[in-house]
Structure 1
Amino acid sequence: MPFSSLQLIPDLQRAISERGYSTPTAIQSAAIPVIVGGGDLVACAQTGSGKTAAFCLPLLQRWNQQTPATPRKVSVLILVPTRELATQVGDTLRSLAAFLPKPIKLAVLFGGVSINPQMMHLRGGADMVVATPGRLLDLIAHNALSISSVQTLVLDEADRLLELGFQDELNQLLKLLPAQRQNCLFSATFPEQLSALAQDFLKSPTRIDIAATEITTPEISQRAIVVDTANRTQLLRHLIDSENWDRVLVFAASRYATEVIALKLRKARIAAEPFHGELSQGKRTQVLADFKAQRIRVVVATDVAARGIDIANLPVVVNFDLPRSTDDYVHRIGRTGRAGEAGLAVSFISTGNEAHFRLIEQRQQVKVEREIIAGFEPTEKDVSVSTEDKSNGGIKGKRPSKKDKLRALAAQENKS
């Protein structure tokens, strides 16, 4: 099915062609007609499935059909959980709007930077706003903008908005929005908390579910390598060199871990940088730019900071530490194998997390064969534990404390 079958205006089809899009993805084919038609929508689609364009294209088409207001009034509000995702969505909107007959004023708003330039940019209003909830509330409190004229609300990465503690901010913003509006909710997973939120403010929504059939797509190969905890950094270095990975996104459990791993890789003459929430916005932007330009070979990130990272043709993702939840695993491996490209997701398995990885396999309905790399044979207790094992294994309520983890990690890495 070509994009022309979706009845998008010629100006948008030209922008699509300029971006190299050929045919719409499954989520784009299903979502675009619903949004253009003005209906509410709940879309569950995995990371990398093309969902950003799935809502940007119809929103731009609907906006283009409106009569411009003076001063400009916000008609579209897109809420996202992180700065990086806000930037990504903003870049997509600007690119797709490049050939529209009337210029669009877009405001991309997030914290971690001075609020004053954002307030200046909002003088005279805005047509569309992409924002993180906290900064948006700050700007509303400063009377820098109003959202009382919003016609369409989009929650992107809605599951993450809730996981990162934005429930109260979302409730405050929903009270400031007009009662009559279009609502679109996009998410890679659909936990119970999100279902409750959807029932509160969506009206007879169309439900699109793409994620359930795409997580096991062969474009993302999954590997599980058994290794002692203390030898993970050396194994990572070995794999980067022996398998000639030119770019790798590595996930670690904490800010401290990202710093330690990146430092050890640099000592081994592998260009690497940490990426976590305590970095300045300028530093985070620079790291991503260097990674995209292949001036950096490895980025070591926490789950929160990595939200919204969109790197074209990223070949490899490594779970240095396993994620706390199955949903986080979905988000992590979705950083590779995007837009139909092949990708590889590698997980390091040790005695302490074998049970947890089995739970991940069970929830994802996959089975990943365990590997042992020559020279890195595990010496810790046999990882082939029973599924009935009651050790911590990553199960909630049985884990060591955060401080215990950091002390153990420091001790293990210092031996590396």
Structure 2
Amino acid sequence: MLSVGLTGGIGAGKSTVAHRLVEHGAVLVDADAIAREVVQPGRPALAEIVAVFGEQVLADDGTLDRAALAERAFADEESRVRLNGIVHPRVGERTAELVGGAPQDAIVVHDVPLLVENGLAPLYHLVIVVDAPEDVRVDRLVEARGMTAEDARARIAAQADERSRREAADVWLDNSGAPDGVLAEVDALWADRLVPFEANLRLRRPQGSRSPSVVEPDPTWRAQAARAIARIEQAAGETALRVDHIGSTSVPGLPAKDVLDIQLTVADLTEADRIADALAEAGFPRMAGQWSDDPLDPGQVGPRGDKRLHTGADPARRINLHVREQGTPHWRAALLFPVWLSEHPAERDAYAELKRKLAHSHRADGTAERYAENKQPWIAEAMARAEEWARATGWSP
């Protein structure tokens, strides 16, 4: 089951995207709809709210008067906490019930307006953010909901800003134009990414090695890695001693293959084996008996190695997750090498030239194995220089 978080600011047109995903077959779990459902007449939550805040929060027909409740519940922090204590557990229970009732091969889209504000992004395999410029959103809120422009801008200002949403977004959908534009993007997203992502996840199908192709530095690599790290930390729990973005994509200004290398540090590899299923369920199935093109540790990956290798199930974002024991030589090298390259631009540029040359020479045979192997002489000499720098500066992990 693929879990997708869908969010966006008020007036961005999130419901347009949600409805299109449902048309394709997604199971929609709407947080706002659930919040309204659990306080319907006859529900325990409504009775409890009346007991705490009084009969004045009811409308003449016995339904909840949300404006009257807001006056009382948001008057002070204690009242707000009491209301949340009544409503949130019921919303959580109903959400779990709906998700639990979805088929195992479902793509479940959880529509959560405050996903970013509440820090929920790591709970999903993928986060989609729907956005539009503020002026467009204000016009929509005035026309569709009858708000004043001032009220609309105040509501927008009270939500997460664009920077925060971009940090959380694996997919950014600009819904500022005609509906056909964003709907076409959703169609492509469903076919090219969500459907194969779900299959990879369900089948625990790792991505295999690819032909080496070095690209120019992407300024978003670090933000992309941060999102993956948050999901890994969520899945690994206390077993994770630390999780780091390593490899070439972690070095500013260094051309690299478009692959995020991440290192999960554990106390010992029995712990890595214990959390293998949790990592797979989070979107990082384990590779076994396959080639690792890690330049610091190339070779076959197996149960007797000094690491475990997982890879991302998302077809649109290649990730290698190296799980290593704290204190081992390769663990240390993986942390030292990118720091040293970042501190030495001339070494970084020499490494970039080597990578480009080898990628070009091995593109014809399409093998990551020879590409990684042929970097080893330079890597070995560079690591000796890196260790000298570490001793001179006192660097340590």
Q: TM-score scaled to structure 1, two decimals? A: 0.29
Greater helix content: 2
The higher radius of gyration belongs to 2
